[in-house]
């Protein structure tokens, strides 16, 4: 073989090796991509399963128990439309309302300054412990620790406070 041919062969081999190298990089990338997809799929499935379990843990609230729980609040609150203020303010239309904004009720300055909007989460926290939620509140109620009781109560409160009749 003459020299130029040898050089040509060398070049070709080099090119071949380089191409091979490239190919394997592509293959590796594809493999990694596939692995990621498989992993994402597994993670996604786990998420779905978790959500399913979670929904099994959160059964439909028991409104009868909710009403029973509300007897603890009734001493101080009415909940019907246009109901009077007692020791505590009327709770009609509470969902979505900024705290301490019912007319004609004298709120504590603590609740007025708290900047709370009443939604499910803030109401749940409040019912669990008014004093921890808003230190200095005038609602002297110890709170309900049991999660299920709060869930039932809240469902009742939200239903009654939004009743149109
Ligand atoms: C001993 C009387 C008393 C009891 C019992 C009581 N509350 Fe209250 N509640 C109050 C007072 C007083 C306030 C006003 C608090 C303030 O101004 O700091 C209040 C405020 C509230 C507010 C905020 C209202 C607003 O307009 O921002 C909600 C919601 C509430 N109570 C729900 C309940 C629920 C639900 C229960 C039963 C688990 C309950 N309360 C039990 C006296 C009571």
In terms of domains, do 10 and 90 share one? Answer: no
In terms of domains, do 137 and 114 share one? Answer: yes
pTM of this structure:
0.73
In a domain, 149, yes or no: yes
Residue to mutate, 74, 75, 77, ligand 1, most ligand atoms under 8 Å from C-beta: 77
Contact 67, 156 (CB under 8 A): yes
Q: Helix axis angle, 147-160 relative to 63-74, nearest 10°?
A: 80
In a domain, 77, yes or no: yes
Please report, in tens digits, the pLDDT of each residue of the chain (165 residues total).
Answer: 566 666 665 555 555 555 555 556 666 767 776 776 667 776 777 776 666 666 666 679 999 999 999 999 999 999 999 999 999 999 999 999 999 999 999 999 999 999 999 999 999 999 999 999 999 999 999 999 999 999 999 999 999 999 886
In terms of domains, do 54 and 69 share one? Answer: no
Residue to mutate, 124, 139, 143, ligand 1, most ligand atoms under 8 Å from C-beta: 139
In a domain, 100, yes or no: yes
> How many domains does the structure of the chain reveal?
2
Domain that holds residue 32: 1-58
In a domain, 165, yes or no: no
Contact 164, 92 (CB under 8 A): no
In terms of domains, do 149 and 79 share one? Answer: yes
In terms of domains, do 140 and 104 share one? Answer: yes
In terms of domains, do 53 and 121 share one? Answer: no
């Amino acid at each position: 073989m003459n020299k130029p041919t040898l050089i040509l062969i060398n070049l070709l081999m080099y090119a071949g090796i380089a191409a091979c190298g490239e190919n394997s990089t592509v293959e590796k990338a594809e493999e990694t991509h596939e692995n990621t997809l498989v992993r994402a799929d597994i993670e996604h499935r786990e998420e779905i399963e978790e959500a399913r379990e979670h929904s099994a843990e959160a059964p439909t609230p028991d409104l009868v128990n909710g009403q029973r729980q509300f007897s603890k609040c009734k001493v101080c609150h009415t909940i019907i439309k246009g109901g009077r203020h007692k020791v505590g303010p009327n709770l009609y239309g509470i969902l979505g309302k900024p705290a301490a904004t019912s007319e004609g009720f004298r709120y504590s300055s603590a609740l007025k300054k708290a900047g709370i909007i009443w939604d499910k989460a803030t109401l749940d926290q409040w019912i669990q412990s008014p004093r921890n939620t808003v230190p200095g509140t005038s609602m002297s109620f110890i709170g309900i620790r049991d999660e299920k009781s709060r869930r039932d109560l809240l469902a009742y409160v939200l239903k009654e406070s939004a009743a149109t009749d």
